[in-house]
A = this chain, B = another copy of it.
């Protein structure tokens, strides 16, 4: 099996890009990743484009071909992938597989969305699904998890709000982030209620934006100087056979354990984590699945400061989905962008001192009480 090198990353700022098209945004990210690596476009021999909303919002299909052409890449196999919030990271997974197998030498993975448009409504994992039609849209399903975690473990509203405050503080140092003005627990809890107990500042925003990563086999890497190594890529889908536990996703535990096993690492080996804080309760549940604390202790960990910049294990120093913004096709790749920036010691004010190993974690969709997908990626410098 070939080693997988992360040779380049690129992203646009996340936010509202009213005057730009999805292809334009995604093309910018793709071009930046190629330039970052110093690779000629014609050397890319496989491509993935990830987007969750291009088709449902705009009836646009085969967008990836247009994106790759916009940066001068043609003829090669290109795959358009959709996997809700793990669209980008699931594409990353297939790209790693292709490099590992020697089926490609330089794979460009691009993800993007243009969501800040009048057509956008509530995002969910399927407008035709019965539970969605009955009202179990995504914020509602996360609210149910929050209520269950509060009841089972005594997690408090303030502990959940602490996640939003921390990630906003981190975002204040990140020029790529959508929301950068610091907030506080009172403001988070006082923002409009979306799905009790989740207030608006505990729910990630939609965003326009794109991100891209270039993965290479060693012989295709233009320069090893700034190259990083992908040590593990794990992906699993829901275990619908046992969907009743609202205080933990079995899928989350399985995939995180798989990533650690593949990398031969433990939670203590990580220097930073980007995780899927689509809602504040999500980050708390992911702490537990990632083994940062015992099950049930996630709320306390959130409030402890241990997961803040400068703490024991900083989580979402980019600002996370909550403050960097969440264009799903780009999110998983923007997490990798953040890890790369940190592991190269180029993160400026939000630099995690001595960062050598990072984990990126995504989760997407929701059905019958389990997540529909989960990914975990471990990268080292």
Complex Cα distance, B78 from A62, in Å, reads 19
- Evaluate contact between A128 and B83: CB separation under 8 angstroms: no
Tell me, rounded to whole Å, the shortest Cβ–Cβ distance linking A10 to chain B: 21
Does A127 sit within 8 A of B, measured CB to CB? yes
- Evaluate contact between A365 and B62: CB separation under 8 angstroms: yes
Contact of A65 among B58, B63, B101, B365 (CB under 8 A): B365
- By a CB distance below 8 angstroms, the chain B residues around A63 are 126
Contact of A62 among B58, B77, B103, B125 (CB under 8 A): B125
- Evaluate contact between B83 and A127: CB separation under 8 angstroms: no
Does A295 sit within 8 A of B, measured CB to CB? no
- Evaluate contact between B128 and A75: CB separation under 8 angstroms: no
- Evaluate contact between B367 and A74: CB separation under 8 angstroms: no
- Evaluate contact between A83 and B80: CB separation under 8 angstroms: yes
State which of A157-165, A220-228, A235-243, A267-275 sits at the interface with chain B: A235-243
Complex Cα distance, B129 from A22, in Å, reads 11
Does A69 sit within 8 A of B, measured CB to CB? yes
Known: A75-B236, A97-B98. 13 other contacts (CB 8 A): A22-B128, A55-B55, A58-B127, A59-B128, A60-B126, A61-B82, A61-B125, A69-B240, A74-B238, A76-B237, A79-B83, A79-B94, A80-B82
- Which residues of A approach B to under 8 Å, CB–CB? 21-22, 52, 55-56, 58-63, 65-66, 68-69, 74-84, 90, 93-94, 97-98, 100-103, 125-129, 235-241, 251, 254, 364-365, 367, 372-373
